[in-house]
A and B are shown apart, each in its own frame.
Chain A
C-alpha cells in the first residue's frame, strides 16, 4: 500500500497540493476500488427512496396491530372517500394468485380472513400526498376478533393449525451412525438464540410505474429481481414479460431486502390507478415487515472418549419460522447438516424442526441455520473441554475436520477444509496487550467512556470458535447465472442481472474483464429482469456463478478478438497475451492495441455458469446437499466487568478459508462487517416480541453496534487453498464470519466469568459472577 503510506507522509498543510496519483490497480487479486464509493460518500448515489416520477402517488400500508386475529370485516369506504385518495386495495383486489412466497406460496398479499403476525399487511392506499395516504390507511375500518397467539415454538406442535399448511414447516430426523454408542464423557446443554434483525440502514422503498401495455415496472432494491418479478406477475395475474423489475441502488442487504409486502401493494396500486406510485417504509414498518433471523432453541448431548475425541453428537434444533415458511426449510437443512460443526463425529443424531408461530416472520439473514447451531456446538465444546480439563483450543484441534471427511449428511467434504490450519493460526496469534493503568485506558473499560467500569472488577477472557457455512443454494436449487461481455472502442461492458448489494460484484466483474481482455475501462450495467436471471445475491453466489459466467463470456470475446490475429501470424491464440490494452505475441513479433485489433468492430459473447447439481436431504437427513463449504476460526478476547456484567470485545482474531483473495480490500471489509454483525448478535441485537408484538420497532429499542461497540478485527490469516470447483478457486467470504463470531464471544465470556453463557445475546446478568456467600 505504497499509495496510502505516501499520503500519510504528506504534512497536513501540504494536502492542497496534488498528491502523487495512486497507481491505478486493475485485474484480479488487487484492491480495485469500487466505482460507486465516491458517490455514496457524497450522498449523490441514487437509492430507491430517491426515485421520482412525474405525477406520482404515495402509498401507505395498513398493518395488523395483532399477532393473531380473525378479520370480521374490512370497511374501506371512509378511506376511499377521503379527498386525495386515489385507490384502496385489499385482498379482494388481487387479480392473480392470492398466495405467494419465495420458497412456498403460503403468504397472502393482504390478509384475508386471518392475520398471523404483528404487522401483516391488510390493505394499501395510494394518495396524492404521503400524509393523506397514511391518514387514509388509518381510516380503514377493520373489525378483528382477537385470537390467542402461539408464540412459543415448543407449543406450536400441539397448537391448533395457524395455517392450512399446518404448523410444522419441516422436520428433518438426521441419522448417521450407530445410535447405541455411548462415550466416556457426556455433556449436555440447552441454548437459545434471539431474533436478529437485518436492520438495513437505507430506507426500504420502491416505485411502481404502469406501462402502456397494461404491465408494470417495479423500481426496487431487490436482491433477486427475477424471483421477485415472477412472484409479482403471478399475484398481478400478468404474464412474466409484462412485469419488469429494475434494481435501484441497494442500501445494504444482509438477506432478502425489500419484503414482498412492499413490491406487491405498490404494483397493485399502480395498476389500479394508472399512475406511478412510490412507497418509503418507515423504520417501524421495516422492523415489522421484513424477515428476521430465526430464533432458535437447541438441545445438545455430546459424547467423547477420555482423550476428548468426539464419539457421538445428539441434538434437537427448533427454528421459530414465524407465520410463514419463507426460507425456513433451507435454514433447517443447514442447521441440521452443520449441527455437529466442522468436526469429525462418527455418530450424529439430530432432530430438526421448523415450526410456524405468530411471531414476526423469519427468513434469509446471512448464515441462517449455520449460525444458530454454531453457538450451540461451540458451547458444547467448551463444556467438554472443562469437563476433561483440556484447553478449549486443544480439544477442538483433536476433532477438526479435513478434506475427505464426511459430513453427518453422508456427503464427503471434497473442497479444501483447512480447519486445523485456521484454528492454529488464531491460537498462535499474539494476544492483544492488557490495558495499562493510565487515564487513556478508562476509555477501554467495559461500559465505555464515562461508563462505570472499574479495573479491579474486570476479567479478561479468551474464547475460540470454529464454524462453517455452505455456499450457493442447497438441496437441488438450480444455481445458474448468465452474463454478457461486449467489447467496443477499446472498452468493455458487462451485462449481468447479478445485483450489486455492496458486496462488490460490479468491482469483481470489472476485475475479471480487465484480467481476461486487458482493457482498463470496464462498465457494468445495472441489473433488471430484461437480462437473463442470475439468482439472489446471497451465499457467495455472484462471486461463484455470476463471476464464473463473466469470466467465460470474457474468454469467448478474447478468442473472437485474437483468432483473426493468430491466424494471420500463423500461431495459436494461446501464444498471444493481452495486457494494458496491448496485444503481444510470445516472441514480440506482434504488438498491437486492442482498439486496432477490433478494427471498429464490436464483439459480444454470452455465457452461463452452473455448478454441479445437489440433492435434497432424504428422510434420514442424508444426501449431497451442498455445492461447497467455507470455514472460519475466530478467537475472541473480551473484557467483562464481573459485577455489572458489561462486556467489551477487545479483539476478534479471524482466520478464514477464502479459497483465493480476489480483492484484498473487499475481503477485509466483508470480514470486518461480518464480525461486527456477529458481535452485535452476541451482545445486543434481539428484536423482542413478547406475546407476538414487537414493542419497540425502532433503532432506539433495537441496539446496533456503534463504533464504540465494534471490536478491533484482526485478520490473522487468509488461507488461500483454491477450491477447484469454484471459478477462480474463490470461496464466499461474507457469511462465515457472522456465523462464528457470536459463538466466539460467548466462549470468551465463558472463559472470563466461568458462567455457562447459553443464551445469545448475552445479557449482563449472564456475565455477572455472583459473590461467594
Chain B
C-alpha cells in the first residue's frame, strides 16, 4: 500500500532557534577563538588537555577542568573519512576529507576539514596546520579556521593511536 491507495501524508515543517549557555569553562575557549587562539583546558586530576573543553568536565575522571592551555596550532591526523555523500545542510563541496586532528599539546583529537591536497594523499600521521578565514568573518567558532592543510613535515608514527580519539 502507498499514498497511491489514498493514505494521506502531510508535510509539517518545524523549526526553532535555541540559545546555548556556554558556562565559564567553555567561555575561555570561545573567547580564544575570537582572538585566533586555540584554548583548551587541563584536567587537575589526570593532567590531560581537552580541546575543545566541551562540558568543562573531564570525561575520564569526572573532575571540573582547570587551567587554560593554549594548544596547536599545528597537529597530526589520527584518522579520517573521505566524504562522497551529499546531505541536507552540508556546506562543503564534495568530495572532502573530514579528519580527526590531534593538535600539538592536546590529548584529544577534534574533527576538521583538510584542503589544499588531494583526498587520496591524506594519511594517518600527516602533519597539518590551520588556515584561518579573514578576521572580518570570525565569530566564537572553529569555523574561523577555513580548513587545515599539510605542513610538509615528516609524518608522525601514530602506532596504536591510529583511529583513536
**Mutual binders A and B:** no
